[in-house]
Structure formats: C-alpha cells, structure tokens
Structure 1
C-alpha cells in the first residue's frame, strides 16, 4: 500500500524526509480544500497546479530510471483524452485508470468527465419525466457528478438482472411408501433499455451465458414478455408486460422492485416487492404470491452498450 501511494517510499524513508513531508502535506491540503470546498473540479485542478503538491503527485515509471512520456502532457490535454471514456459512458474504465496512482485519481475527479456520463444515463424514465438532472446534482450532491453516479439510484443498461429461483414439484413413485419430490430450478431475466422498454424472460433449461446473448428486442421465444419501466426514488416499476407470442393478450403483468447496492458494486440488486396481473378489458388486478421468487442480481455483459447517443 505504501509503494502504491509513493513508488519511491523506500528512498524517502531512508533519507528521513518523510517527517518533513508529513508536517507540510496536511497544511497544503487544508488550504486547497478551503479555497474550493464544494467544487470537485477546482479541487482536482488546484492540486495539480499547486507547485508544493504537484511535485509529489506525478506518474512514476513501472521500471526505475525509465522515462515517463505521459508525465510531460499538460493537465488539460490529459483531461481531454479521458473524456473519450465519458463519451461512451465507460465509467468503469475511467475508475480503473484512477486506481493507477494519485495523479490519475486526481485527474479522474474532474467534474467535466462525469457530467457527460450522468447526463446521458439519467434521462427519463431513469428520473421523473419533468425532472432536470442538473438540478438534482446541484441540490442533493453539491454539484458533484461523480458522487451522483455513485449514490443516486439508477437502472443499469450494461448487463442483465438474473434471479435464480427454486420450487418443489411432486413426482410419481411405484412404491406407496415413498414420496418423490423434484427440485425445479428456473431463471428470471430482466434487461432494461434506455428508451423505457424492458425484456422479461422465464427459462428453466437454457444456460444463462447463452440466454443473455439472445436478449434483444428482436428475440421471439416462449416465456418472453415485453413491457415498459420507470424509476421513482429507489423503486423500479414495470408495467404493460405482455407475452411477445403475438396473440391478443388478456392479461398484463406488473412488477414493483426495490433497487439495492450490495455486497459489491452499485445498484446491482433488485428485490421484487410486488407481482400482479391486470386484466386488460376490465382493469381488474390480482396480486400473485412471491413464495418462490428470489432477488435479481446484476451480471455485466461486455457486448451490451453502456448508453446510446
């Protein structure tokens, strides 16, 4: 951990300069944060433009005594290069770069990098129809777009939510003294699209790795339903969920799910709180039991796009 923070920590420790650096660093950082306490972009750029701090925050070579060409690039140009990640909503790649060293982390804290990602991801139905994401960021998260992406509830488009469910089915036995029960395992899949459509698939035989590649708007198969979705707070509501078989449907399904973030990752769990059917002609609603239902866990799929321009 010490070498990750400073690749020359062994030489600094042996020279005794670390005591001096420990005394100076808190004062410099305190002055910098006090000058711009609510603006992450100004904090990041202030760190790199303050001479007493920028000298200790630099790119280090993987092998000692080798040149580091990226070190000579201006901060503005590095931020411009990193914006290509934000243009594709590839925030995971941006975060991986930020984990390289201290300077990379400071660069990825620039607010302009995350502003484009948040504006593309948080559009209706991800937020209420008349809501403005800039006002949400400013009022709830201190104009910090990266913090908004981490803390504000959202449905993810770069993968699929999968629930592994089990149920018991009675079997047949030739012996009257023996009761046979079969444990049936089936999967529920939910894939959300940015235009407000959603695919819901119930399958009990296929391999999940094969199914996720088939979950496209053009798919036609048994157990598949298509519907609409929207988010209110941390609740996801799916409605108008009809069987895609082509027949005139008499019933539509509706789901209510709670967005959660655990144990690792963000917004990677959906807990079904209500599941019901709605008769199309009369509007009569029948609530279904949730005895065998299990939570949906998010699984990232590399072939899925992050967002669409």
Structure 2
C-alpha cells in the first residue's frame, strides 16, 4: 500500500516539473522572437530614414578615470540624487532658460561638468555647482572658452553680414547693395580713402548761432605752398599737434598723411627725430660734458658714430614710417618698470591659523632720459603718482649739494668726478618728502646703437640697432658703477598703428668695481620690462 502511494506521488511531482520546464522554454522562445521582430523593425526604419551626422562630445579624457575624494558619492546621497532626477522632470520655459537643453546624464568630460555647474548655479545649488566647476577646470583649464563657443557662437555669427550665396529673402545690407548697384561694394584701403581727399577744400567752422553767418576761415585762402610751410613749422614745434590736424578736415588729413618732405624733416630733425638721439656717450656719469675720447679704444661700438642723414636711406623712403618705426628714446615722459613678487612670511606662533603667511612685495624702477645724453635712474617703493613730478635734474642736484651743517651725500664724490654743486639753494630746495624719495636717485648717461651697425656679438650679448646702454652711479658706494643693457621694442606688435618705442626689455645688468676692475652680474629674476608713460609737466623734454 505504501509503495503504490509513494509511486503515485513521485509521478505527480514529475508531471508538475515537466510542465514547469515546458512553460519556461516557451516563455524564452517568445521573448527571443519578440527581440528579433523589434531588431528587424528598427533595421527597416533605419533603412527608410535618411542618414544624418550625429554631433557627440569627444572621447573620454584620461583624467576622468582618476578618482578623488570629491568624486566619491556616499550612500546617504542616494536620496539627493533621486530628488535631482525628480527636479529634472519639471517642465521648463525654453524662452526664459537658455540652459534647458544641457546634458542631463552623468557628466564625464570637462564641458559636461561645466554645463552641469551652470545648471546647478541657476537652481541655487551653489555647493554642487562649485564642485562641478572644480572638476571641469581640473580636466580642462580652457573649458569656459569651449562653453562659450558651444552655446554663444551662434549669436556672434548672427550679427555678421550674410554671405553672397545666401537666400535673398534674408534681410542683409549686402543684398540691398547688390539689388541697387548690381555689384557687391568693396571696402577701400586707407591709401585709397586718403587719395580721395585730394580735391577737398578746407571747410569753414559752423556758426556759433544756428542760421548766423559762419566765422571767416583765412587759412582756406592760403596757397598750397604757404599752407605746407605752415604745417612744417607746426610739425617741428610739436609733432603730436601736427598729427591731430588730420582730424580737422579732409584736406588737412590728406596733407598730414601724404606730405613726405614734412615727415622727412621730422624724422631727421633734432626735435623729435633721429638726430635727437645719442649714439655715443657725450657726458660722464655725473652729467658733465666729456672733453676727451679714448683714442686707443678700437671697439667700433664705442667710437662716435656719424650723424644720421638722408644718405643712409633710400631715395623712395616713406619717412612717416621711418619716424614711427626706427628706435627712438622719448623725452616727454618716464619709463617705469613695476615689479611684483611674493615671498613666504614668518612661521605662525599659534597653531589655529588657516595657512602660512605670504608677503606681496611691490617696487618700481624709473628711467628718465634727457636730450643731452644724461639719465636719472631711481629704485623705490613709492608709486608713480608720488615720484614722476619730482624726477628732475634740479631736484637731484639740490639734494646732492652739500652745505653748512648737513652731512654730505655719499655719492657726491668719486675718484674721478667731484660734486657739481657745493652749496644748497634753500629757497628752491625740494620739500622733505622729495628729499626722502630722491636720495637714492642715481645720475648716469645713455646711448643707442647706431642704426647703420649690424648685430655684433659682444661677449654673451648681442649689440643690435635699438639696443640701449646706460651707465649710472653705483648705489653701494662711489667706487661702483652700474651698467644696464636694454632694448627698445613696441608694446603691441599686432597692431601696426599702435604706439611704437614704448617698451624697454632687459638684456643685462652689471656692477663694475673701479678699484678692482671686477664685474658682478645682477640676476633679474623678478624684474619686468619698462613701459613709457607721458608726463605733461615735462613738456617736450627740452
């Protein structure tokens, strides 16, 4: 009886197991058939739809694989991630939000982190935004430029004129000009524009009261020869006023731009041109005229150079370009070098400080050049607004003068040159603040390399046209002398109309001991280039 019951139970279990296995096999076959149908359907749809390019971000950056503490997400932040996903489902107004179409997945590249940071910032989640900004800049330091190009480049391009092959229905000035004149206008060059002013006339000034008779214009009746002679006198008196005459009217603009003889007089003149430059040392370090020259010196770079005349240039020379391009020292202002560097401070006494102390040190170097070949050099921590109006030879000479009970200046006497002044003028003496600033001012001399000289190797330095050599007194004592080697450059090399000869770059700085004939080189680790600044109180530098 027991055998029949156990066999019947075993048969029943076998039947149920076979039914369950059969049901599972049928379900798998049905799923596979559905998947095959879906894949075949998608392939047919892809064949029917036209292919189009898909813009995708570049491949994953190698730095994205590096995990740091900021990228580790704790388990407690799962609820915050879920809330972010719910916030992303809220509808947004596309017209009001420019960033609604940003990348919504998990950011991986630098641009995606930056986009997510902008999105979080717009939602007011500044902490999350800051984390994404940090990750973006770690991956790419120029990610902000890429973000601008991606999201704002269409605005920059929309402001440009439509190309010639664009649809004529698009409003554009180019299409209007084509429909009216039949040809596309070609922009004229500066030379063509100035040439069109040749037949213009000097226009009278507008009347002070509308409807009244305009004031007379006597210059309008002058012959051209007399007008050009008058313009030449203006140019030799102040070349900046002559250049500003081009903005008065078209006739004067034509003469200012095209009169090559006037620009030749300016370029070769001793007022502002190349003749005003010094190509050999004409004074000693203290500023007294040099009355002797070392005949045994065979160095061609030290010999007096011939004056610059028109014979050194070609006959068809553009003298306006010569005046602007050739190296020239400016006497209407001062050259200033601003130096900033940081150094570590002292150790903190208390352990509760946030970090180590850092000191930012700022000092200035000043160079003012004079037409007689002298120069004043000053190293100080005072700002230019406190120094430039005091940097004159008269103030330096008054401070150097020794008189009465006051101690003598340490740089008044050297082994070869006595002081220039022996008595102080109490009436014209500079104020105490100026004495404190200018007590470290150094007198010196300067010269430029002659334009006709080619590059010459002098030791480890190369002397080329435009190089500037300065010799000043030594600040450490009367037996020392400082030698500076600089080069005249243009501050802005990309714009040809920018100011020229307004930058002095360092090439070398040495100290010479006249007793031991030893040279010591200063390492210019923090020093920057000199930049020219116009000072109105200096006038034209005479």
Deviation at 1:62, TM superposition (A): 5.3
Confirm whether residue 253 of structure 1 aligns to residue 445 of structure 2: no
Distance in structure 1 (CA, Å) of the matches to 2:536 and 2:264: 23
Distance in structure 2 (CA, Å) of the matches to 1:133 and 1:277: 32
Distance in structure 1 (CA, Å) of the matches to 2:440 and 2:311: 38
CA contact (8 A) 2:374 2:446 kept: yes
Distance in structure 2 (CA, Å) of the matches to 1:166 and 1:297: 15
Equivalence for 1:288: 522
Distance in structure 2 (CA, Å) of the matches to 1:268 and 1:223: 25
Q: Go from structure 1 to structure 2 and tell me whether the alpha carbon gap of 1:231 and 1:185 turns closer, same or farther (over 3 Å shift).
A: same
Equivalence for 2:251: 103
Q: Which has the higher contact order (CA 8 A, sep 6+)?
A: 1
Q: Go from structure 1 to structure 2 and tell me whether the alpha carbon gap of 1:293 and 1:198 turns closer, same or farther (over 3 Å shift).
A: same
Confirm whether residue 77 of structure 1 aligns to residue 231 of structure 2: no
Equivalence for 1:191: 368
Counterpart mapping for 1:71-220 below 5 A: 71-88=220-237, 90-108=238-256, 109-118=258-267, 119-120=269-270, 121-123=273-275, 125-127=277-279, 129-135=304-310, 138-139=313-314, 142-172=316-346, 173-175=348-350, 178-204=355-381, 206-218=382-394, 219=396, 220=399
CA contact (8 A) 1:258 1:273 kept: yes
Q: Go from structure 1 to structure 2 and tell me whether the alpha carbon gap of 1:174 and 1:62 turns closer, same or farther (over 3 Å shift).
A: farther
Deviation at 1:68, TM superposition (A): 6.2
Equivalence for 1:238: 470
SS at match of 2:228: helix
Q: Go from structure 1 to structure 2 and tell me whether the alpha carbon gap of 1:190 and 1:240 turns closer, same or farther (over 3 Å shift).
A: closer
Of 446, 458, 470, the match for 1:229: 446
Cα offsets for 1:36-80 (capped at 9, x unmatched): xxxxxxxx9xx8xxxx9753x222345499466232222222223
Q: Go from structure 1 to structure 2 and tell me whether the alpha carbon gap of 1:301 and 1:307 turns closer, same or farther (over 3 Å shift).
A: closer
Aligned residues: 259
SS at match of 2:313: helix
Cα offsets for 1:219-271 (capped at 9, x unmatched): 2423311111111111111124434xxx9512211111111112231100011
Structure 2 residue ranges without an equivalent (≥5): 1-180, 186-190, 208-212, 281-303, 400-437, 450-464, 493-497
Confirm whether residue 303 of structure 1 aligns to residue 537 of structure 2: yes
Confirm whether residue 276 of structure 1 aligns to residue 453 of structure 2: no
Deviation at 1:132, TM superposition (A): 2.7
Q: With structure 2 as the length reference, what TM-score do the two structures score?
A: 0.43
Deviation at 1:122, TM superposition (A): 2.0
Deviation at 1:214, TM superposition (A): 0.8
* Higher normalized helix content (fraction of residues): 2
* Higher normalized strand content (fraction of residues): 1
Cα offsets for 1:122-157 (capped at 9, x unmatched): 237534632332236633x73443222111111111
CA contact (8 A) 1:161 1:191 kept: yes
Structure 1 residue ranges without an equivalent (≥5): 1-17, 23-28, 31-43
Q: Go from structure 1 to structure 2 and tell me whether the alpha carbon gap of 1:231 and 1:136 turns closer, same or farther (over 3 Å shift).
A: farther
